Amino acid sequence: MLRLSLRWLCEYLDTDLPGAEVAQRLTMAGVETELAVSAEQRLRLRFGEEELLEFTPTPDRGDCLSALGAARELAAILDTPWREPPVTRVAARASEEQTVILEDTSGCPRYAGRVLLDLEPEAKVPDWLSERLHHSELGSLHPVVDISNYVMLELGQPLHTFDRAKLHGAVRVRRAARGERLELLDGITVRLDPEHLVIADERRVLALAGVMGGRESAVGPETREVFLESAWFHPERIAHNMRAVGLRTAAAQRFERGVDPGLPERALERATELLVQYCGARPGPLVLEEAPGQLPQRASVLLRRGRLKALLGWEPPPERVRKVFRRQGMPVEDAGEDWHVTVPGHRPDLKLEVDLVGEVARLLGYEHIPSVKPRPSPARHVLPVLEDTAWHLAQLLCARGYHEAMSYSFVDPELQKRLFPDQEAPLLAHPLASSMSVLRLSTWCGLLSALRHNLRRQQERVRLFEYGVVFSAKHDGRPGEEFRLGGVACGTAHDEQWGEDSRPLDFYDLKGDLERLLEGAGKTRFEAVTHPALHDGQAARVTLETGDGVQQQLGLLGRLHPALAADLKLPSGAWLFELRLNLLEERPPVLKPLSRFPSLRRDLALVVAEEMPAAAVLESIRAAAGEDLAELRLFDVYHGQELGKNLKSLAIGLIFQKESSTLGQEELERKLSEILAAVRGKCGAVLRESG
């Protein structure tokens, strides 16, 4: 927050209006006097002996943390001209210079400084200056410090002064050495590392750049010579310095938000002018060291007329658009129907075209933006499963006792690597945390974390599902995306009850859930599979036969691998599944009339090899039986010594029913013979001998 005298701000406005009338015009512009809110800052006017204006700029508006910046903002809101305070270049009256060496030009590409001699011991700042510091809650400390603080409030450029008698050799802007220590002005000693940007001399560290100076080089009552510093520091480096010591100083607050790179020399001249006037100082030559290639350059941003209309929903008159920027001191050049806007150094928040659109909306008034009903999302046409299939499957899962989970798309890389060791996950450039640094390859990472969270809260029977986008390795610079539905389940198969004994969830319970979900999806099969995250022998892949007969992997299901379960502190009976929803199509149900003719049932006991999947036998029967096979049931699986080693018996019920006539006995026997021949040839199955 910045609190300034309204009378002071009016000095920069090209108006003779008294403060009360300025407040009235602010109210007319939609800025209330009690709690005024504009798009970029909050304003509050206080009336009494002195009219004060409080600014609470948003984090991107560091330019408003000064009287000049606040006046510019008021002028833009009031649509009135503004003027910058005059700054007089002070001629050198002494030859003394302080050598400055920039060792870290990326952290500090511009550094200006000046030696000032013969400070008067009894010097005092004028009352008007100390009052303005008091209004801003900075207070009065020492004439040199007060003037530095005043210039920071006036122009927005933080300054720092060193007692020159306490300096040894050249002033260096460098990275700290590991283990170096600095006692700050507030008495706190901080330990530094090479990531810290510091100001030092030939012997020791003098200041933590952009945050706070050191006690050993501070000015005091005995100071007669000072070295005045005015620099531009990279915002990210100052933010790091500030976080490292846990201090949020007035200087750091401005540097981290971005200061005008062209301001250091101007602020140094203004401070010199005041030090000469009120402290009797003799200034030396201005010393400037810079690395121009490291400084941010003034950008010219193209604002397209069509884009402006598309984002705002209305088309402001071109002359009003130009006026928005010109009244903020931004040059505007026409480019056909569009505009090139040159962004000044004090507005680092304006980088993209959309930022300029926001400025137009803010200063012309949000009330001009028309209210319209939102258009349907194009996602419905791109991913129909997002709103149709996924929603339908979610309802089915809820009906079967599942609860929907919603997790982040950013997951723990270590957990994901355990689940999918052979797949590379896309990395995030700026992760929220180290445990959320990669994009998810599957919904399983989030679901397992949710399962663990619930189990730790005494929820013994858990059924969770989630649907959303998962990602794959980058192609053409962008990660691939796929829409999937995943689930996790553990605990008992049924809720505690009196009518059925409690038993743990097994593979066939989960398989039954998926079969219910995939009813009507097409021809699906469950086949044994090996997966690093799943238990061998208790995992399967789900395949879907497309219209051209090609089998595509639709998903996976299985029991969590025991080693993973132990590492994650999960029970061994945790089951997972996942389906690729982009392979599923919305298929309307096909109505079929009930037959008026009786059905016939025949049961077959077929002996097959132990490793032969029952699904393959059933598939062979369906193919051989034709359209008259109304239903097929596997109702028993038997293992016994009388069958022979590595053999099993499958008891299968076949129900036949024709739509146009009664199925005759001879026709039925012929179909059974064809079925037995088919399963013998494809699966090696033979009829089990009775007795």
Q: What is the pLDDT of residues 291-312, one digit of tens each?
A: 999 999 888 999 999 999 999 8
Q: In this predicted model, what pLDDT tens digit does every residue of 119-176 receive, in sequence order?
A: 998 899 999 999 999 888 888 889 999 999 999 999 999 999 999 999 999 999 999 9
Q: Is 80 exceeded by the pLDDT of residue 274?
A: yes
Flag whether pLDDT at 385 surpasses 50.
no
pLDDT on residue 36: 32
Superfamily classification of domain 100-294: Phenylalanyl-trna Synthetase, Chain B, domain 3 (3.50.40.10)
pLDDT for res 501? 86
pLDDT in tens, 622-645: 999 988 899 999 999 999 888 888
Confidence band (pLDDT; 50, 70, 90) for 463? very high
Contact 486, 466 (CB under 8 A): yes
CATH of 2-78, one of 3.40.190.10, 3.30.56.10, 3.30.2320.50, 1.10.10.10: 3.30.56.10
Which of 161, 407, 444 lies closest to 275, judged by CA? 161
| Least confident residue range of 264-273, 330-339, 452-461, 583-592 | 583-592
pLDDT digits (tens, 9 = 90+) for 314-347: 889 999 999 999 888 899 999 999 999 999 999 9
> Which has more confidence, 20 or 513?
513
Q: What angle do CA 433, 435, 437 make, to 5 degrees?
A: 70
Average pLDDT, stretch 521-526? Answer: 83
> What's the CA gap between 155 and 270, in Å, rounded?
9
Provide the pLDDT for residue 633. Answer: 92
Which class does domain 600-687 fall in? alpha beta
Please tell me the predicted confidence (pLDDT) of residue 245: 80
Does the pLDDT value for residue 425 go beyond 60?
Answer: yes
Q: Where are the domains of the chain?
A: 2-78, 100-294, 300-368, 381-583, 600-687
Count CA within 13 A, CB hemisphere, residue 366. Answer: 7
Q: Are 666 and 600 in contact (CB under 8 A)?
A: no
Q: Is the pLDDT of residue 406 over 80?
A: yes
The answer as to CATH 3.30.930.10 being correct for domain 381-583 is yes
Q: Structure pTM?
A: 0.58
**pLDDT more than 70, % of the chain:** 90
Cβ–Cβ < 8 Å for 271, 230? yes
Beta carbons of 620 and 606 less than 8 angstroms apart: no
**Higher local confidence (pLDDT), 488 or 88:** 488
pLDDT above 50 (res 441): yes
**Number of helices (H), then strands (E), in the chain:** 20, 32
The per-residue pLDDT for 88 is: 86
Q: What is the average pLDDT across 522-550?
A: 87
Read off the pLDDT of residues 117-129 as tens digits, 9 standing for 90 and up: 999 988 999 999 9
Residue range 193-219: average pLDDT?
Answer: 94
Query: CB of 483 within 8 A of CB of 582?
Result: yes
Task: Say what the alpha-carbon torsion angle 670, 675, 676, 681 is, to the nearest 10 degrees.
Answer: 130
With contact defined as beta carbons under 8 Å apart, do 76 and 64 qualify? no
Whether 2-78 and 381-583 share one fold: the answer is no
CATH of domain 300-368: 3.30.56.10
Strands (DSSP E) contained in 519-593 are 523-528, 534-545, 551-560, 575-580
pLDDT tens digits, 275-284? 999 999 999 9
What pLDDT digit, counting tens, does each position of 42-100 carry?
Answer: 444 444 456 777 777 788 888 889 999 888 888 888 778 888 888 889 999 999 999 99
What does the DSSP 8-state code read for residue 175? E
Question: Is the predicted pLDDT of residue 494 greater than 50, yes or no?
Answer: yes
